[in-house]
Amino acid sequence: MTTNTMVAIQTVTLGSSQSSITFGTGGTIPQNYTDLYIVANALSSSTQNDLRIQFNGDTTNNYSETHLRGNGSTATSVRESSQTSAGMGWTDSTVLSSFLIQVMNYTNSTTYKTVLSRYSNTGTGNWVGASVGLWAKSTKEPITTVTLLSGSGTLSAGSTFTLYGIANADIGAYATGGIITQDATYYYHAFGSSGTFTPSRALTADILVVAGGGGGSNRGGGGGAGGLRAFAAQSLTSGTGYTCTVGAGGVGGTGGSATAGGNTTFNTFSVSGGGYGAGAIASNAGSGGSGGGGGEGQTGFSGNAVGLGGSGNTGSYSPVEGYAGSNGALGPSGYAGGGGGGGGAGGAGGTASASVGGAGGIGTHTYNSIDFSSWLVSGGYGVLNSDGYRYLAGGGGGGIDSASSGTVGAGGLGGGGTGTADNTTGGTGLASTGSGGGGGGFNHSTSTPGNGGNGGSGIIIVRYLK
C-alpha cells in the first residue's frame, strides 16, 4: 500500500521582475489529484506587499480572505470580501518570504474552492501568518489554472514557485518504488529521482526512460533535450530490485560553462543526457541524447565563424533517442546573431538567423511506434498540446544579442526553456520532462551576459496491467 504523496507538476523561477506567474498556461493543470500544493519563495519590489492568488483567470469580485499574523509582540487579524483576488500573505523587498499554499478539492464542480496559506516574512516586521481564501464563483468550476500575482509592484528576479499535486492513495499495486498512480487499466510507477522498482509478482511492463536535458548558455545556444526511449512488453522478475537512475538537468552557464544533462538508466535500458548549449562567440555546443545549440557568430570576429550545434543520438540507438542542435548565426555588422536551438527528442533545433534565436527542437509523445502520451496523464506529466497529446523532451531555445533587436528562440514543445535577450537568464527546462534549458541573452551596450537556463530533470515511468 502506498501513501498520499506530492508530485511536482511545474516550477517557475523568475529571471527578471514580472507582475504575475500562471500555472497551467498553454493547457490545463492535471485533474487527477486530490489537492494542489504550492511552495513559493517570493521577493517583491516593495515592503510588506501582498502575494495574491486567482483561479481560471477570474478577476471579478468572487474572492474573500481572512488573515491571522504576528511578530512575537503584535498580533493582528484582517477580513476582506468581494475581492478580485485572495491574499496569501506578505512578501518583502529585501529577503525572500516563504509560502506553503494548499488548494483543496480543486477538481470538484459542486462547491466553492478553499485555499490555505502559511507564510513567514523575515524582512521588515518579521511576520509569520496564516491565511484562508475562498473563491466563490457561482459556476463552482474545477480549477484549471492558478495565477500568483503581486498586490502592487512586481515579483522580483530570484523568486521561485513550484506547483505540486497530491496523489491519491493507491492500494493493490504489484510493485514498489516511485510515485504510484493508476487509471482504469494500468498501474504507473514514476521515478522523478533515482530509486528501485521491485515487483511482488512476475510482470510484463512497458517502460519509458528519459534523460536530463542540457543547460543553455549565455550569448548562445539552448540546451539539448535528454535522450528518450520506450520499451514495450518487458518481462520483470518477482522480487528483483531494478535500479532506476534518473539524470539531473544540466546547469545553465555563462561563457561556455553550461553542463550536459545526466544519463538515465532502468536496469540495462539507458539514454544519454542532453548536450549543453554553446556559450561565447562562435563556440560549439555539446553532443548528447539531443545536441545543444551553437554559439552566436559576430561579423569580423574569428573569421566570421559561427558556433556549431551538437549532434544527437550519442548512444547510437535505433530508433534514435534524439536529434541535433542547430548552428548559431552571424549578426548584423558589429553585433552577434541568434544562438542555435537545442535539439529535441522529436526533431532538430530550429535554424537561427541574424535577428532570431533558433527554436528548440520539438519533443515527442511516441517512440518506436509506442505512444506514451496516455502514460503521462495519470501523474500529470509532460506538456499538453492542442492536438490532445502530452509531449516530453523539447529542446531549449537560443538566446540573442539585445543590440540586434531580434526575436528569442521559443522552447521546444515538451518543456524546453525559452531563449532570452538582454542580460536575462534563459528559461528553465520543465522538471521531469528531460527538456533543455534556454540560451541566455546579452546586453551589448553594457557587455553584460545573462546566464543560460537549467535543463529539466529526466524521468522513468513503468506501467503494467491491473
pLDDT tens-place string over residues 81-90? 999 999 998 8
Q: In what order do the strands lie in the sheet with 113-121?
A: 5-13, 160-167, 36-42, 97-103, 113-121, 127-135, 63-70, 75-83
Q: What confidence score (pLDDT) does residue 2 get?
A: 43
48 has a pLDDT exceeding 80? no
Q: Domain residues of the chain, as ranges? A: 5-167, 173-466
Please state whether 352 falls in left (phi above 0), alpha (psi between -120 and 50) or beta. Answer: beta
**How high is the pLDDT of residue 37?**
93
**Cα 172 to Cα 177: distance, rounded to the nearest angstrom:** 13
d(CA 26, CA 3) in angstroms, rounded, equals 31
The three cell numbers of residue 400 are 540573442
Min mean pLDDT across 229-233, 252-256, 326-330 is at: 252-256
Q: Is the pLDDT of residue 284 over 90?
A: yes
Rounded to 10 degrees, what is the CA torsion of 305, 309, 315, 318?
Answer: -120
CATH architecture observed for domain 5-167: Sandwich (2.60)
Query: How many whole angstroms separate alpha carbon 434 and alpha carbon 59?
Result: 35
Confidence label for 433 from pLDDT (cuts 50, 70 and 90): very high
Q: Give the cell for residue 51.
A: 502575494
Alpha carbon separation from 212 to 221, 222, 223, 224, 464 (Å, rounded):
17, 14, 10, 9, 24
Is 109:138 a contact under the CB 8 Å cutoff? Answer: no
Task: Using CB atoms within 10 Å of the CB of residue 91, give its burial: 0 to 12 exposed, 13 to 18 middle, 19+ buried.
Answer: buried
In the prediction, which pLDDT does 255 show?
65
Q: Give the C-alpha distances (Å, rounded to integers) separating 256 from 33, 276, 291, 416, 456.
A: 41, 9, 15, 19, 19
pLDDT tens-digit map of 171-208: 578 999 988 888 889 999 999 889 999 999 999 999 99
Question: How many helices (H) and strands (E) in the chain?
Answer: 1, 28
Strand locations in 104-238, DSSP E? 113-121, 127-135, 146-150, 160-167, 175-176, 179-182, 186-191, 195-199, 203-210, 228-236
Is it the case that residue 168 has pLDDT exceeding 70? no
Average pLDDT, the chain: 90
Residue 1: pLDDT over 70 = no
What is the pLDDT confidence band of residue 27, given thresholds at 50, 70 and 90?
Answer: low
- Decide if 343 contacts 290 (C-beta within 8 A): yes
* pLDDT for residue 26 is more than 70: no
pLDDT of residue 3: 46
Q: Model-level pTM?
A: 0.71
